[in-house]
């Protein structure tokens, strides 16, 4: 079965500093990996995804993520955090080996950027 | 503009009553999904449908039912058999053939009184 782990419930960072939100995954086949962001009482917004190719994926709002197959990780990064980045971030995976198209999500990491 | 509409935004229900959450999309997507969100648990898949008149149980289908009579619509019924229905419910859709990323609706917050 596919699964996603986000080991940090919350990440705190000062505005202007780099940020990292961690994600590890487990699949039987090839992974399709996603990052979504959620603002209070709203739906999820797509940030970026990895399917194949370059391990460094660039997405919306200056975010990027690095796929590491050997460590089964897909950490979200941003060089310089903004207060407006404060939100709930979800990592998700789809296992191309199962044929199930629905995503499996991690438990979420709350990012708090302090001014 | 294309998107997903979920109504109502807030819903209150008395214990023991069934309630139906609406999800409508005008994105011409083939696949639709229902997720439940609880604090600290992320999103869990309830049901999904890849084509009209077909749907499959997700990871937590007990106490829920769905229908997919039209491509645009995927209503979710929370039955009285669902032991702890208070949660935030999110509907999503994706383009099966074009393999586009799942697009999420704004959600419905259900509270059982």
Residue B113's pLDDT is what? 87
Say whether pLDDT at B98 is over 70. no
Residue B88's pLDDT is what? 95
Who contacts B85 (Cβ-Cβ below 8 Å, separation ≥6)?
A: B13, B63, B78, B110, B112
Residue B96's pLDDT is what? 67
CA A38 to chain centre: 12
Residue B65's pLDDT is what? 97
A112 CA to chain B: closest CA distance, Å? Answer: 16
Cβ within 8 Å, pair A107-B40: yes
Say whether pLDDT at B19 is over 90. yes
A54 CA to chain B: closest CA distance, Å? Answer: 18
Best mean pLDDT range from A1-5, B5-9, B72-76:
B72-76
Q: How many CA atoms lie within 13 A of B42 on its CB side?
A: 25
**In chain A, what are the helix, strand and coil shares in percent, each to the nearest 5?**
5, 50, 45
Cβ within 8 Å, pair A101-B50: yes
Give the nearest partner residue to A34 out of B33, B41, B101, using CB atoms: B101
Question: pLDDT grade, residue B100 (50/70/90)?
Answer: low
- The residues of chain A scoring below 50 in pLDDT are none
């Amino acid at each position: 079965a596919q699964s996603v782990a986000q080991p940090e419930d919350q990440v705190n960072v000062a505005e202007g500093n780099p940020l990292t939100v961690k994600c590890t995954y487990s699949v039987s086949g090839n992974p399709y990996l996603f990052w979504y962001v959620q603002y209070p009482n709203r739906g999820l917004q797509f940030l970026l995804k990895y399917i194949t190719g370059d391990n460094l994926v660039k997405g919306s709002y200056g975010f990027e993520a690095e796929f590491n197959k050997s460590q089964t990780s897909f950490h979200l990064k941003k060089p310089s955090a903004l207060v407006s980045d404060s939100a709930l971030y979800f990592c998700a995976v789809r296992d191309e080996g199962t044929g199930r198209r629905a995503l499996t999500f991690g438990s979420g990491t709350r990012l708090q950027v302090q001014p | 503009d294309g998107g997903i509409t979920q109504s109502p935004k807030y819903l209150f229900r008395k214990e023991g009553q069934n309630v139906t959450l609406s999800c409508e999309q005008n994105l011409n997507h083939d696949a639709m999904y229902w997720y439940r969100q609880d604090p600290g648990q992320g999103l869990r898949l309830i049901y999904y449908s890849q084509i009209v008149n077909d749907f499959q149980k997700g990871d937590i289908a007990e106490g829920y039912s769905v229908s997919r009579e039209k491509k645009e619509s995927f209503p979710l019924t929370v039955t009285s058999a669902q032991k702890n229905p208070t949660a935030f419910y999110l509907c999503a859709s994706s383009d099966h053939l074009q393999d586009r990323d799942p697009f999420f609706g704004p959600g419905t917050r259900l509270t059982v009184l």
